[in-house]
Amino acid sequence: MKPLMLQGHERSITQIKYNREGDLLFSCSKDLKPNVWWSLNGERLGTYNGHQGAVWSLDVDWSTSKMITGSGDMTTKIWDVEFGKVLASIPAQSSVRTTNFSYSGNQAAYTTDKAMGQNCELFIIDVRTADSSLSHQDPVLRVPILQSKVTSMLWGALDETIITGHENGHISLYDVRNGKQINSVNDHTNSINDMQLNKDGTMFVTASKDTSAKLFDSESLLCLKTYKTERPVNSAAISPILDHIVVGGGQDAMEVTTTSSRAGKFDSRFFHLIYEEEFARLKGHFGPINSLAFHPDGKSYASGGEDGFVRVQVFDNSYFEYMFE
C-alpha cells in the first residue's frame, strides 16, 4: 500500500510515538510545535504551541490524557492532550533531552543535557496533579549523572526502575526509590540514540551510533541479540505481534549533503528478532530516519526522518504471509 506522508513539520523529526490504542500518532521536531495526527488517514488533528526551542522528546501517558515534552528551551512541559493546553512548565538548567511517563502515569522522568556548566541529571516528578504548581515543586528524585550524558531513557516495568542509555554506549539501570545505580553494561561502543520496550516491557531494543541495534533483557540488561548494519542506527522498534524488529538510521545528518541519497542508506530495515537476519527494506526518506514506531496492532509502522516527513506504512498481506522456515 502507498504510505501516508504526514507533512506538517518544518524541520527534522526528533521523535514519534503512538498512543496506547494507536489511533493517534504524536510527533515532535526541531521546529517548536509537536503535532498529533490521526494514524488511520494521516490527517493532522492539532499542534501543541508553547515551546521556544527544538523539541527533543515526547511521551503520552496510557490514558492519552497527558503528554510530556522536553525541549531545547530548557523546559519540560506537560500538556493536556485533548485541548493542547500547557498544564505545567518545569524549568531546567539545560536542555531537556528525554522525557517519559511511568507505567502508571503517576510519575514522569526527564533528563537534562550536560551543557553550560551543568551536569547531566535525571529527575523524577509526580504528575498526578499536573498544574502550574509543578514548576516550583521539588522533584521526587534528582540523580546527578556524572558519567557520560544520557541520550535515551526508559521506565522499567512496574514503575520501579529507570533504564538510561548513554553517549558512550553504556546502558545503566537505576532504582527509582533511592536513585542508586543497580546495573550497568557496555555492549555498545557508541552513543545510544534510542531505546524502545517490547509490548510487555520485558525486553527492549537499542539503536546505537555504532551501526548496530541490540536486544536486551530489561531486568538483567543481558544482551540477547545483535542486528548489524553499516550506518549509524537512530531508532529501532519491536513488532507487537511478530518476531520482527525494524531499524532505521543512515549516514550522519552532517555528512548527508556530501553524498547522493543512494549512498546514504536511509531505508527502514526489517530483521527477524530471533535469527538476526535482515529480510526486507523500505525506501522512502531522503534523509536519515530519526524515529520509528510500530502501531500497537502491529499492522502498520511509522517513521520520522531528518527530511521533516513522517511516513505511515500499512503492511501488505505478503508481509504477514512471509514466514521464516
Partner 1 sequence: MAKKRNEEYDSGDEYQEEPNFDDPEGFVDDINDEDLLGDLLKQKPCETDGVECVVVVDNIPKVGPTRQEKLKTVIFKLFSTFGDIVSSFYPLDEEQNTKGYAFLEYKSPEKAEEAVKALNNHRLDKNHTFAVNLFIDFQKYENIPEKWEPPTPQPYKVQNDLYNFLIEPDAYDQYCIAAETSPNSVQVQFWQNSLPEPTELETRKSFTDTFVKWSPLGTYIVTFHKQGVVIWGGSNYQKINKFPHPGTQFVDFSPCENYVVTYAPTPAGQKIIIWDIRTGQEKRSFVSDGQTSMSMFRWSHDDKYVARMGENAIFVYETPKFFLHELKSISIPGIRSFSWSPTDNVIAYWVGGQTEVPARVTIMDIPKKKDIRNKNLFNVADCKIHWQKSGDYLCVKVDRFSKSKKDKKDADVKFLGTFYNFEIFHMREKDIPVDSVEIKELILAFSWEPVNNKFAIVHGEPNNANVSFYEVKKGQKPALVKKLEKKACTHLFWSPRGQFIVLGNLTMGTFEFIDTNNDFIVMSSADHFRASDVEWDPTGRYVVTCVSSWKIKEDTGYNLYTFQGRILKRNLLKNFVQYLWRPRPASLLNDAQQKDIKKNLKKYYAQFENKDRMRLTRASKELLEKRSQLREQFMEYRNKRIAEWQDQKSRRLQLRNHVDTDSLETDDVEEEIVEFLIKEEITVLE
The DSSP 8-state label assigned to residue 155 in this structure reads E
Decide if 88 contacts 131 (C-beta within 8 A): yes
Q: Does 158 bind partner 1 (CB under 8 A)?
A: yes
- Least distance from partner 1 to the Cβ atom of residue 276, Å: 8
Cα distances (angstroms) measured from residue 260 to each of 97, 264, 268, 289: 30, 7, 17, 16
- Least distance from partner 1 to the Cβ atom of residue 158, Å: 6
Q: Does 52 bind partner 1 (CB under 8 A)?
A: no
Residues 6+ apart with CB under 8 A from 207: 192, 193, 194, 195, 213, 233, 234, 235, 236, 247, 248, 249
- Least distance from partner 1 to the Cβ atom of residue 27, Å: 21
Which of 7, 259, 279, 281 touches partner 1 by CB under 8 A?
259
Size of site (CB under 8 A) for partner 1: 29
Residues 6+ apart with CB under 8 A from 251: 231, 232, 259, 263, 264, 265, 266, 288
Residues paired with 237 in a beta bridge: 246
Q: Does 62 bind partner 1 (CB under 8 A)?
A: yes
Q: Does 275 bind partner 1 (CB under 8 A)?
A: yes
Cα distances (angstroms) measured from residue 50 to each of 28, 30, 77, 192, 278: 13, 13, 9, 29, 41
Q: Closer to partner 1 at the Cβ: 60 or 150?
A: 60
Torsion angle, alpha carbons of 307, 214, 144, 180, to 10: 150
Q: Closer to partner 1 at the Cβ: 66 or 166?
A: 66
Site for partner 1 in 293-322 (CB under 8 A): 296-297
Which of 49, 106, 129, 132 touches partner 1 by CB under 8 A?
106
Contact code string over 164-203 relative to partner 1, x by CB under 8 A: ------------------------------------xxxx
Query: What is the contact surface with partner 1 in residues (CB under 8 A)?
Result: 20-22, 62, 103-106, 157-159, 200-203, 217, 224, 230, 259-260, 262-263, 273-275, 296-297, 324-325
